[in-house]
Copies of this chain bind each other. A is one copy, B any other.
Amino acid sequence: MILHDDRPHEECGVFGIWGTEGVDAAHAVYYGLTKGMGLVSEVFHPEVLQKLKGNIGIGHVRYSTAGASCIENAQPFSLNYAKGTLALAHNGNVINAKDMKDELSKEGAVFGGTSDSEVIAYSIARERMNTASIEEAAINVAKRLRGGYALLIMSPQKLIGVRDPLGLKPLCLGKKGDSYILASESSAITAVDGELIRDIAPGETVVITKDGIQSDTKLVSSKKAHCIFEYIYFARLDSRMDNISVYDARIKGGMALAKRYPVDADVVTGVPESGLTAAVGYSKYSGIPFIPAFNKNSYVGRTFIKPTQSERASAVHMKLSVIESVVKDKRIVLIDDSIVRGTTIAGLINMMRKAGAKEVHVRISSPAFLYPCFYGTDVPDNSQLIASEHSTEQIRVQIGADSLEYMHIEDFEQMTGDLEICKACFDGKYPV
């Protein structure tokens, strides 16, 4: 079957480097964005900007399901103003960006495009007229921003990183030789052979110059709300965020599922790639062997084949086939990390039945998500969500499973311990 990935997508990140003499910042940013964030080549458009003989650079990569690749919205955004030039890239959403823009427009501001980046950069440039430094301007503007974000700001001499006070979006600091790196994911730092130093704390602002790193905590608040989605879906398996290994969190999620929803079965398997790690966790707790059951066909790039319009609209298209020997006459536990429309998992279950599976028990390593996200996570709207209109039993019937269970919301703490998380999309309790 052709698998059109129907789960939520964000897959967005920033990367910046403050390099010493001789560092090719543009290349480093490029590789950090493409190799370190684990994205399929077809679906992203890394945009890189560098300054000052190449030793400072920032970049942004975004995966957009809508596919609207609008030049005006391209990040990073750079501008010229009385104090010189300034560039900005950000990850996340600023809820009140439109309001800020309208306000500025009323005062006579003009904008070349329609992106939030431009609004934030513009605001910082404005603020800079009345402040002693660019970081002070950035902090003052950040105070007015609502939502989850990680900002990278580049001035001719400085690389600045700002993480939102709740810590909704990740940002971490790394080092390679004498160069400093700021990136959404630690894997992007290791991808360029750098090493992770630490996470930028929620609300922390770091300023990197030739004199080293300075940290500012003016934005820090007592309340935290790390986005649980990063651990469930978005982050790379080998990333470490806020001191928690993404891999470990997923293994523990699978174990919690096995503990709460056990099943008598012969094989545990997962939907590639999203469900595999939780499946290993389920296997570990239950003792049922984990065996990969699907064979992925090669991804054939667009250079060679011309997909139909509908295939292209969906950026991810691949073909999975089930390995008959794994499932024939077996009772299967099938793990995935989410169900959106349900069509993908229904297709896979159907393939398994045709290949002779006796039973297929589905376990989902996250709760059904029911509420919109306002902090930058690209959750499908309600009309696309099977869970918003149907009960779990209805979904089970619709996808053709013998049993279906979602992770219990209370089990999150088994994944992330005492980390303060935002799980508003599951329970509607928004942190701000």
Using CB atoms and an 8 Å cutoff, list the residues of chain A in contact with chain B: 30-31, 34-36, 38-42, 46, 77-82, 102, 105-106, 108-114, 118, 121-122, 125-126, 129, 187, 190-191, 236-238, 245, 247-248, 251, 276, 280, 283-284, 289-292, 295, 297-301, 303-305, 319, 321, 323-326
Contacts and interface: CB of A to CB of B under 8 A. Distances in A.
A300 B108 contact: no
4 smallest A-B Cβ distances: which pairs?
A82-B105, A41-B301, A81-B110, A112-B112
Contacts of A121: 110
B298 A301 contact: no
Given A35-B319, A38-B297, A80-B110, 14 more contacts: A34-B300, A41-B303, A80-B111, A80-B113, A81-B105, A82-B108, A237-B323, A238-B321, A238-B324, A245-B324, A245-B325, A247-B324, A289-B290, A292-B292
B298 A39 contact: yes
Given A41-B301, A289-B283, A81 B319 contact: no
Nearest to A106: B82
A297 B247 contact: no
Contacts of A78: 112
Contacts of A190: 321
Contacts of A77: 112
A108 B251 CA distance: 53
B305 A112 contact: no
B301 A303 contact: yes
Nearest to A248: B325
Nearest to A245: B325
A110 B35 contact: no
5 contacts: A36-B297, A110-B121, A283-B289, A289-B289, A289-B290
A125 B108 CA distance: 8
A41 B298 contact: yes
Contacts of A300: 34-35, 41
A323 B187 CA distance: 12
A327 to B, nearest CB: 11
A341 B26 CA distance: 34
Contacts of A304: 34, 41, 46
A352 B9 CA distance: 32
A45 to B, nearest CB: 9
Q: A30, A35, A42, A106: which has the most chain B beta carbons within 10 Å?
A: A35
A233 to B, nearest CB: 15
A82 B104 CA distance: 8
B292 A280 contact: yes
Nearest to A127: B108
A321 to B, nearest CB: 5
A295 B79 contact: no
Contacts of A248: 325
Contact of A325 (B38, B46, B251, B303): B251
A111 B105 CA distance: 14
Contacts of A321: 187, 190, 238
Contact of A114 (B80, B105, B247): B80
Contacts of A105: 80-82
Contacts of A31: 305
Contacts of A301: 41-42, 301, 303
A148 B291 CA distance: 35
A61 to B, nearest CB: 11
